[in-house]
A and B are shown apart, each in its own frame.
Chain A
């Protein structure tokens, strides 16, 4: 019987040599005359083990990693096609504690299947949500999404069902589903992993959104920094069309829905939904004032759902298993699961899908295993470049929208960057201002000019020039940006800056420069 070997095609695996490993395995199979084939799957999300090679055996799939091309011959020598013992062997993938302790709803298939195999997709419960949706009324679909408690995973946490209802109720000959796959936040890659590892689930989610709201056309706006995701989504859409998942009659129903991929052009601000719509229309990515809401006047002025990849990719499982099933996970007003992306200076970096409610400390220390460098953790930035820096003393904060807001932070797209004690928080505050200055769309003065002043002010503090006065000035600038900016780029840049100043004051009082003796 042909043995199946899995070597991920996820960009993070490719970045650490998965293609070279696949090639070495192929060579070895040929040289030894073995009956085996390679499937290029998505990633399981245990990124510290990438390239993570799996072999399907009678005892389930056995994991080996991180595999270098030079390890391949020894794997075959150890009988890895039968799951043989080897220093790189981790036993059955499903029993690895990092994997076994997750609640994989949105990511149930990612890393398991061949991302572009519609047979695999069906075999692992794909299309059941869409099939159920087709048998419901649009209003029923919308109320299921509302009842699930799903909130937008792009950052703002707005209830997805309520957004859909606005679009469903809006009149218009043409409505749109726009998927926000701009994923510009550092420490985030969940959208990328789904698009590369289980693209059909996003297509299914968008088709359900289309049926629910009366939209027949969808766009996935993917950042240009993700060429692999763009390519995989393009191919998946073509395959979905061939298989009747998209087109004039979705799965043979009376509903029409089709979609296409659009590539961004390297502007962080285009992740903001109105900037994204301008960009999609072929304009400068300037943020629009709201109202009008995109739900009523979005793409080309027509009713439009703008949702993050994770929001849309979570809909199929909600329709399949029911809103109560999803809602029963989580805490407070944060329902369901959240794919936490653990990144930076951390031992076990990766994607960890779990119900809301773990504390930050559990995520960083228990799951992440502390720093990669082995030094003490000093700060953790949660929610990307607009998110606050948390000190270890605040590790009791539960992963929940409201709990983070109450501590002057945000969970954003659920990315976490761990820093060890060598980090200079004044430098991080300066970077937050610099990033805002580079990426500002230019519409608001506090964002455009304030951020540049912020960089200069941080530089003065670093050089010991009137530090007390300049710290007050930096806080003032933050205040002006917070209240005088149209969108969260200018409005939230104060979070990383102020949290750095508040929680790590020692880094803002550099030792005065010792003047050379006269």
Chain B
């Protein structure tokens, strides 16, 4: 992900994505997903382009981006580690898992380590509730997190 991409490039890439997807019924979420996949977040500069091309107001696009937990307004770390904090994981000690991971990384939820390696986030259920406690690292799933697994996970995330 290039954080210093000049605005004209963002415009051009956004336009290409919008043009590719705007024929869908209800194209906005697919477009935003694609933009986030491309840039790692949804840059503010994309919004006017999307609004213009889809005939929406900028406020409408902004409203959609901010409604959904998935869309980032700022770049994340190189890795995103999501720890499940929902009930089934709670019953298997997800609180303690979170405390350990936070201590190992030296950050809280919604923060990124200073070296830009890891962003830590809570998530409410990954559908891995019978192999709890569960986590997801960049789309890879992890379950039955004991101390060894937590250490491995954090080491992997730090890379």
Contacts and interface: CB of A to CB of B under 8 A. Distances in A.
Contacts of B102: none
A280 B26 contact: yes
B86 A186 contact: yes
Given A12-B128, A266-B69, 15 more contacts: A185-B125, A187-B125, A188-B129, A189-B130, A262-B30, A263-B29, A265-B68, A265-B69, A282-B64, A341-B130, A344-B87, A344-B91, A344-B129, A417-B91, A420-B91
Contact of A16 (B29, B126, B143): B143
B139 interface: yes
B136 interface: yes
A429 B30 CA distance: 36
A224 B70 contact: yes
Contacts of B91: 344-345, 417-420, 423
B47 interface: no
A15 B131 contact: yes
A438 B122 CA distance: 12
A185 B30 CA distance: 24
Interface in B131-149: 131-132, 134, 136, 139-144
A224 B127 CA distance: 11
Interface residues on A, range: 35 or more
B84 to A, nearest CB: 8
Contacts of A192: 127
Contacts of A385: 86-87, 124
A282 B32 CA distance: 10
A397 to B, nearest CB: 19
25 contacts: A11-B127, A11-B141, A15-B128, A15-B141, A15-B142, A15-B144, A50-B131, A186-B87, A187-B87, A188-B129, A262-B30, A280-B29, A282-B27, A282-B28, A341-B130, A343-B130, A343-B132, A344-B87, A344-B129, A349-B131, A385-B124, A415-B88, A420-B91, A431-B90, A435-B124
Contact of A284 (B30, B63, B126, B128): B63
Given A15-B134, A266-B69, A186 B88 contact: yes
A184 B125 contact: yes
A279 interface: yes
A14 interface: yes
A350 interface: yes
A285 B67 contact: yes
Interface in B61-75: 63-64, 67-71
Contacts of A224: 33, 70
Nearest to A184: B125
B17 interface: no
A121 B44 CA distance: 47
Nearest to B25: A300
Contacts of A346: 130
Contact of A344 (B67, B88, B143): B88
Task: Determine the main DSSP class of B at the interface with A.
Answer: loop
A284 B124 contact: no
Nearest to A217: B25
A358 B6 CA distance: 62
Interface string A260-283: 001111111000000000011111
Interface of B: 25-30, 32-33, 54, 63-64, 67-71, 86-92, 123-132, 134, 136, 139-144
Contacts of B33: 224, 263, 265
Interface string A321-347: 000000000000000000001111110
A344 B132 contact: yes
A349 B88 CA distance: 11
A176 to B, nearest CB: 9
A392 to B, nearest CB: 15
A139 interface: no
A350 B130 CA distance: 6
- Of all A-B residue pairs in the complex, the 4 with the closest CB atoms, nearest first, are A282-B28, A349-B130, A15-B143, A265-B68
A226 interface: yes
A262 B54 CA distance: 18
Contacts of B126: 11, 225
Nearest to A176: B25
B70 to A, nearest CB: 4
B50 to A, nearest CB: 10
Given A184-B125, A417-B91, A12 B26 contact: no
Nearest to A268: B124
A342 B130 contact: yes
A197 B104 CA distance: 36
Contact of B26 (A188, A282, A342): A282
A279 B125 contact: no
A183 interface: yes
A226 B128 CA distance: 10
Given A284-B64, A300-B25, A265 B124 contact: no
Contact of A225 (B30, B88, B136): B136
Given A12-B143, A423-B91, A343 B129 contact: yes
A381 B127 contact: no
- Most chain B beta-carbon contacts within 10 A, residue among A12, A349, A423: A12
Contacts of A228: 141
Nearest to A15: B143
Interface in A179-209: 183-189, 192
B113 to A, nearest CB: 22
Nearest to B130: A349
A227 interface: yes
A81 interface: no
Contacts of A439: 124
